[in-house]
Structure 1
């Protein structure tokens, strides 16, 4: 990094949210700087649950299989009673992949490994974070943001068209903006630690003293590692001893009799107070907040990292579109869509915390984030209006199809990538004019795709001649009947999809079709 440089986007914070945004911008050819004040990447387990909807995002970004390979499935929970008896219970209800939902249960991947895979993906795209580089101040005007950063070598000035604060719950960007962060402290303080220990079965998540907040203790084997994650509430007073000896004594005092657990190493540990807070605004001029900079919450339900990743996935394509000439108002839909999701997530995780205090926490479909939708968004367009089945703003389901050449094709294969996707169902041979950044397909007996087993019809529930427009983040932007296809043109202009200006440009778009 030079002492003075310019870029399209400056991202402050290289955690999961910042890395997601960086990957999305990199694959779109958008210039950016990704800075992180920490000297080295985070390596702990903190956010270890990857929900099904986030796995779909990771598939779109090109690394879902690598994430799965470094983690694994959640083990059953074993809850011990004071008399030494115990009961085993599955963490989640049994589920199998379906044609429309290929990822049916969360995966356990320690956060440090998730972010490592993300950095590897970013490196494939030719980019990397700058560690030990702290944002110290910024000013903005009508055309961009002038930011000051400092690293080990010097101070630098970066001129960016947009600044994104992905710098965590204590966000420097949020504080510098003066954005209020209302909410409450939840009266629970806890310790979380990664431990190398012996004396426990690694196929079970061990839980002791459930319902007793003064003595609760959970030890979960971290999939893909030799470590256990310790989670336990602690006193609001004093500082816990997070050394090997300190955590050994802590576990011995809370664990049931008959166990001989020995702590050998503590690679990472942290004590924290639980809060539920939501930023008043996600956008101030040319500055945006994503991830924990915009919302913090208790860890119950495994929602935080997932919500943060999806914030970035929502913002990335909108930044790219506006940088390419789409109306600036498109960026206002980031807060419009994502802030209500965060408010709902805070309510869910806080409710699960209350259940955990009673020793009665159940995790159902609501934590999987597959049903989150933007149905009230200004980007949700239907002609005519729909009153049942899939709606504009809903997540676009997957479905197996057969290509005209005989190969198997999933809907997600069509959607994955930085483009928009327009799919016509049982349409005639008339096709909307190609536009740069738009892939067009027809599902019919004479189209490029065939709904061989009826899974597309079942998942989408649209009538013959209808068209479904899917956004780059995998949500449905518009559903229009054949008679209303002309009304889609204004929508495409609104989101920055322009018609090719020459025959050659149109041919280039068509050559992308599968």
Structure 2
């Protein structure tokens, strides 16, 4: 059986492992830590990541554990200014089932992915620290600190911003960083504060943010660091957090009962110059790190993995040539560059907002934080023969189907197959005799809502990739274009 070695069991590595395992590809997941992460770290899943996790069958569970439409309660110089909901006008639609981001700490996302992976027969190998690797024409060998070696057809590094794999490959990680912490952060248990909002204090002396996690009694704290009498940054501590809370809120009843994870955050904006070195690929934070504004870190990693999973699976299952793997970097590296740009601009906007009453962290939303507008129109995998408003490379919208075995388009897309949508009666002949890895779905002629979502005016064919991006648009009679596209893979 073909095998992929995945280094790192965070959201990126786990999403990739699940996407491969459900295709029947052998997976080895190596995790350096001996225990699973319990620190909140990232705390938001955007709508596009929720669509990915829905495809894996996890979205309903995660939606029950987290919260959407969390009010932003804003204070300036200690005084309450306003409550806002930056997603107040967003509601689910047939084309977009997840209206807003989901506030949920990273460990709960990881736990759901681990359970799914276990159900697919994959055990995470904790305490497995990679210290060396070698590759040849047939595969990759990973050398572990305990003397073992692990062999796979490919290896994917999902081992974070300090990636050992990236360093071993000598792949440049270009960008900039600052030495001084910009923020202290951690997980705390509090008393004396209502967990019904994300509390945000701003003022001349900086900022304090306290975000509650649904049903846990735990809050994530983010704050401008303390300084001592000489102006030096004071390392984070429970006592330090208590002092920061007293300074920014003026509310003695808000008390820190316990502090768990303590950390600092420095400006660090970097991107790997390439995502592939032979049979080794990079994904998630080891390929790109950026400011926290916009909450795109965990989401970008999940979406890296989603792009790569079907491609690796298709190559290893003999459904595509190895050249398909080149499109991973071609598609995802520009997305990382965009992410670095918008999060850097967003962080600047948030810092400037500390001097403006009534402005909160939503100032950091300088680009599309939903992930729904991300496209690969430039990709060699995008072939557009219709030229409508929705183009090859775009995310394929959801939609309600009144006829056939599927209630929604996303139900039809779920899994590791391509989907050929036939719009109208003239497209029906093209849905017959397709390869096993292509699912035919007829969209009735009277389904005007789905036609509008896809920009279809005449009968047409739309081929959708396993990661739910549009591969090909073509006239209804152009079944030969579909066959030629699949043959080129």
SS in 1 for 2:295: coil
Deviations 1:420-462 (Å, cap 9, x if unpaired)?
Answer: 10111113342342202111122236xxxxx55x221111122
Give 5+ residue unaligned stretches, structure 1: 1-5, 446-450, 496-514
Residues 1:91 and 1:229: Cα distance change in structure 2 (over 3 Å): farther
Contact 1:425 1:463 in 2 (8 A): no
Residues 1:364 and 1:456: Cα distance change in structure 2 (over 3 Å): farther
Per the alignment, residue 165 of structure 2 pairs with: 173
Establish whether residue 38 from structure 1 lines up as the match of residue 23 from structure 2: no
Q: Partners of 1:235 and 1:170 in 2: how far apart?
A: 26
Establish whether residue 218 from structure 1 lines up as the match of residue 216 from structure 2: no
Per the alignment, residue 408 of structure 2 pairs with: 410
Structure 1 residues 81-96: aligned runs within 5 Å: 81-82=76-77, 84-96=79-91
Q: Which moved more, 1:468-477 or 1:254-263?
A: 254-263
Structure 1 residues 315-464: aligned runs within 5 Å: 315-325=308-318, 326-359=320-353, 360=359, 361=363, 363=365, 366-383=368-385, 385-386=386-387, 388-404=388-404, 409-428=407-426, 429-431=428-430, 432-444=432-444, 451-452=446-447, 454-464=448-458
Deviations 1:245-276 (Å, cap 9, x if unpaired)?
Answer: 23222322x32224421111112121131211
Residues 1:291 and 1:86: Cα distance change in structure 2 (over 3 Å): same
Q: Which moved more, 1:226-235 or 1:299-308?
A: 226-235
Structure 1 residues 70-219: aligned runs within 5 Å: 70-82=65-77, 84-150=79-145, 154-185=146-177, 189-210=182-203, 212=204, 214-219=205-210
How many positions carry a matched residue from both structures? 474
2:224 to 205, 211, 233: 233
Query: Shift of the alpha carbon at 1:83?
Result: 6.0
SS in 2 for 1:271: strand
Deviations 1:110-144 (Å, cap 9, x if unpaired)?
Answer: 01111111111111212121111111100111221
Per the alignment, residue 471 of structure 2 pairs with: 477
SS in 2 for 1:234: coil
Q: Partners of 2:343 and 2:401 in 1: how far apart?
A: 37
SS in 2 for 1:148: strand
Per the alignment, residue 302 of structure 1 pairs with: 295
SS in 2 for 1:409: coil
Per the alignment, residue 356 of structure 2 pairs with: none
Q: Partners of 2:59 and 2:322 in 1: how far apart?
A: 32
Query: Shift of the alpha carbon at 1:362?
Result: 5.0
Contact 2:43 2:106 in 1 (8 A): yes
- TM-score of the superposition, structure 2-length normalised? 0.93
Contact 2:208 2:244 in 1 (8 A): no
SS in 1 for 2:267: strand
Contact 2:185 2:236 in 1 (8 A): no
Residues 1:459 and 1:260: Cα distance change in structure 2 (over 3 Å): same
Establish whether residue 47 from structure 1 lines up as the match of residue 42 from structure 2: yes
- TM-score of the superposition, structure 1-length normalised? 0.88
Establish whether residue 263 from structure 1 lines up as the match of residue 265 from structure 2: no
